[in-house]
Amino acid sequence: MSIRVNPNPTPDLLAALAEVQQQVDTATVELSTGSRINKPSDDPAGAAQLAEIHDRGSQNDSFQKSISSITGGFQSADSTLSSVITALERAITLGVQGANGTLSDSDRAVVAQELTGIQTQLIGLANTAYQGQFLFSGTARTQPFVADSAAASGVRYNGNAGVNTVTVGNGYQLQVNLPGSQLFTATGSDMFQSIQDLITSLGNNSGIGTAVAEVRNAFDYVTAQRVFYGNALNQIDSQTAFLNNEKLDLSRQENAVAGADIASVASQLVNNQTARSATLAAIGRMPQDSLFDYLK
Amino acid sequence: MSSLFGTMSIAVGALQAEQGAIDATTNNVANANTPGYSRLQPVLTENDPVIVGPLTLGTGVSLQKLESLRDPILQLRIQEETQQQGQLDAFVSGMQQIEVNFTGSSGDIGTQISNFFSSLSQLARDPASLPLRQAVLTAAGNLANSFHNTADNLSKQQSNLDLNVTQAVQQIDTLTTQIAKLNGQISTLENANHDASAFIDQRDVLIGQLSNLVDVSAIRSDSGLTLTTSNGTALVAGNLSFGLATQTDSSGVQHIFAQGADITGKITSGSLAGALQVRDQKIPTLLSNLDTLAAGLGNALNTANQAGFDLSGTAAGNLFVPPPISGQGAASSLTVAITDPTLLAASSDGSPGSNGNIATLLAVHDQAVAGGQTPNDYYANLLFSVGSDVSNGSAELSASQLILRQLQDQRGSISCVSLDEEAANMVRFQRAFDAAARVVTTVDQMLQTVINMGT
């Protein structure tokens, strides 16, 4: 006797239909999101990795935003220092002129007056602000340099010696400012003092050479300090390149972990749809008749 | 020597037997779509012969009984697998609802942690900016909210499962009462040597439903069927049923009692076990993990904030309301302590333009704040554990469904009604009936002939 088969295959067919329907749904979601991980259970280890990748991506974004927001400040500070250096050059030229013994008192007074103008210009430059923040005030928010006749150089520093750093990479902190006290009024290289001394020596017509040397010293010092901003801009450039690479790498990783293979998912979808139609057809063609229909 | 009356009685016996067989067929056809129905098969046997001199003469056929075709061992396997499937089904559907909270994308805790640190890092470029400070506070609020929402959803689901447990216990009680009643009817019939297959089929259906809810072992004895849970708690003994009861414990969850004993932890399969597993193990573990993360992160950020100075140069206080020391309930109670953005500690030296403390706050991102892991690593691990619970459970569930379908197929191949078969049988029985009737007519004519011999 042959093996008796289950005369009621309907539950099996319905289960097969539900299964293939689920596969169609999964493939559709994967195609519409482009990702094969749409909930943690799709691939638990991959989902955990993906969470880490997203976190690193978000960090990378904030590093890049930080970099673009500090770049302007660096550029502004750099060009300000360039103007300071030009002004100091002019002061040196004026000092050398003033040291010429053929000049009359009134000629020297004219030179001294121009130097006073330069001093005012330097104060202005040292008070440069970028987007409302003084570039050379340390971490203070007050205007850093004010004219003060009580001070020996005629200028008082109102800021502080604080420096700020901004995180631009994992464990990578970039110093973003030099305090004015370090740049312009460092002991022995105080540019305001040197200009003031030059003006005084021109008025007295004595020690002009020494005063010019003092200005030159301040000029050399500021020029050396300016390197900081040039370096910072270079560092930012290379860090941006690094972050861009990292970003690319992260999206590559994300794609490797979660990216749906569109071509294969699409063909899977077609296969599943075909399977679904076939199952439906099978259910539809299940024998409608039995032996009873043929009995007469 | 046989007699004509003897032949007549053989034919009449055959008529009765074939009619009984047609009864079986009719009943099978009528119940072709009845769930749990096991088809009937007429058992026809040859009657004992009579020996007359050198001849051994047959005495016809009789219908001994209508036998129900079923395999009790298979039925047992089906019950076991149904329990397994019930448990996995309840477990997976419970965990899937939990999984929704751990999407790994928009708005979940992990994303909010990343967003918070991004907003902090934006503040570094202009530490005195009030809009940027406000953005950090808003991100901190969102972070706290994501913890609340997740913890609340988990607690809500816990109470929903609690309701499921109560309902399941009520269903179990209804089913055991019905099974006990059927047990009584079956033993009454069987003791009187009657066929109880109709009631046995019904009972199998009910035991199937019961297996879906709870782990049932069936013991068959002379006094009928005894059903117990796998740890030996009696549910049905003969025609008696023992109800289960639910009672709320001190923490507000429903416990299951059988005759006064708490059996909540002893239910090992069926959908009740699946629901209990999610309610009593998975959700509490997840909640306590969330608490650990919320408390660790909150405390670390508080310490970092306290290390700096606010915008007015005063030593700063807490960023979050300090989480409970035990950590319990930290996730659902995490709250930002400050509403004034100037109180955020960006400055490390007291001057308003300093951003030195932001680096300290940002460092929390890479600090081991919970279970020796950074906040994001810890969260990613939670994501993994929820995801793997669902995916492992689903895989086991489909395996179990496949096994159950195969078992049902086997049951079907033994017990299900095939209309073709019934039609063929009907023709066979009808032909035999017709033939027996023809024999009766023929014998009648022969008797006529004999009676008319004398005249």
- DSSP, collapsed to helix, strand or coil, labels residue A171 as coil
Res. B222: pLDDT tops 70: no
Contacts of A164 in chain B (CB under 8 A): 124, 127, 353-356
* Selected residue of B78, B105, B142 to mutate for chain A interface (largest A Cβ count, 10 A): B105
Backbone φ and ψ for B221, nearest 5 degrees, come out as -140, 180
Whether B115 sits inside 8 A of A58 (CB atoms) is yes
Write down the pLDDT at residue B104.
66
Per-residue pLDDT, A179: 93
CB contact under 8 A, A41 and B424: no
What is the rounded CA–CA span in Å between residue B5 and residue B443?
A: 8
CB-based contact, B313 to chain A, within 8 Å: no
Q: Tell which residue, B381, B377, B380, has the closest CA to residue B364.
A: B377
Rounded CA separation A13/A286 (Å): 10
For residues B399-418, one letter each, b for 16 or more C-beta atoms within 10 angstroms of the residue's C-beta and e for the rest, the string is: ebbebbbebbbebbbbbbbb
Does B414 contact A140 at a Cβ distance shorter than 8 Å?
no
Determine which helix (DSSP H) or strand (DSSP E) holds A11, and give its type and residue range.
helix A10-33
Provide the shortest C-alpha distance from residue B50 to chain A (in Å): 33
Length of chain A, please?
296
Residue B188's identity, in one-letter code, is T
Task: For chain A, say whether B107 makes contact (Cβ under 8 Å).
Answer: no
What integer is the mean pLDDT of B240-257?
88
Q: Look at residue B93 and tell me whether its pLDDT is greater than 90.
A: yes
Of all residues in chain B, the percent with pLDDT exceeding 70 is 98
Q: Are strands B40-46 and B61-68 parallel, antiparallel or unpaired?
A: antiparallel
* Helix (H) or strand (E) segment spanning residue A130: strand A129-130
A249 touches chain B (CB under 8 A): no
d(CA A294, CA B412): 25
pTM over 0.90: no
The alpha-carbon radius of gyration of chain B (Å, integer) is 38
Using DSSP's 3-state secondary structure scheme, residue A129 falls into strand
Say if B101 is an interface residue toward chain A (CB within 8 Å): no
pLDDT of B425: 93
Cβ distance A48 to B99 less than 8 Å, yes or no, reads no
- Say whether B380 and A51 touch across the interface (CB within 8 A): yes
B434 in contact with chain A, both atoms CB, cutoff 8 A: no
CB contact under 8 A, A55 and B414: no
The partner residues of A193 in beta bridges, in order of sequence, read: none
The answer to whether A223 and A186 have CB atoms below 8 angstroms apart is no
Q: Is the pLDDT of residue B455 over 70?
A: no
- Distance spanning both ends of chain B, measured CA to CA: 25
Given this model, what pLDDT does residue B118 score? 94
Under the phi-then-psi rule, with left for phi > 0, alpha for psi from -120 to 50, and beta for the rest, what region is B259?
left
**Chain segment B265-313, per-residue pLDDT in tens:** 888 899 999 999 999 999 999 999 999 999 999 999 999 999 999 999 9
| pLDDT score at B440 | 93
Query: Given this model, what pLDDT does residue B1 score?
Result: 46
- Which residue ranges of chain A lie beneath pLDDT 50? none
Mean pLDDT of chain B, nearest integer: 91
Q: Which residues of A248-261 are buried (b: 16+ CB within 10 A; e: fewer)?
A: eebeebbeebbbbe
Higher pLDDT, A225 or B220: A225
**How high does pLDDT run on average in chain A?**
91
SS (H, E, C) B305-370: HHCCECCCCCECCCCECCCCCCCCCHHHHCCECCCCHHHCCCECCCCCCCCHHHHHHHHHHHCCCE
Please answer yes or no on whether B376 and A141 come within 8 Å at the CB atom.
no
Cβ–Cβ under 8 Å, residues B88 and B397 = yes
Report the distance separating Cα A198 and Cα A204, nearest Å. 10
**Cβ–Cβ below 8 Å for A62 and B117:** yes
Neighbours of B442 (CB within 10 A): 13
Taking only the tens place, the pLDDT of each residue in B19-45 is 999 999 999 999 998 988 999 999 999
**Do residues B211 and B270 touch, judged by C-beta distance below 8 A?**
yes
SS3 A145: strand
Q: Which residues of B touch A55 (CB under 8 A)?
A: 110, 113-114, 376
Structure confidence at residue B210 as a pLDDT band (50, 70, 90): very high
ipTM field: 0.84
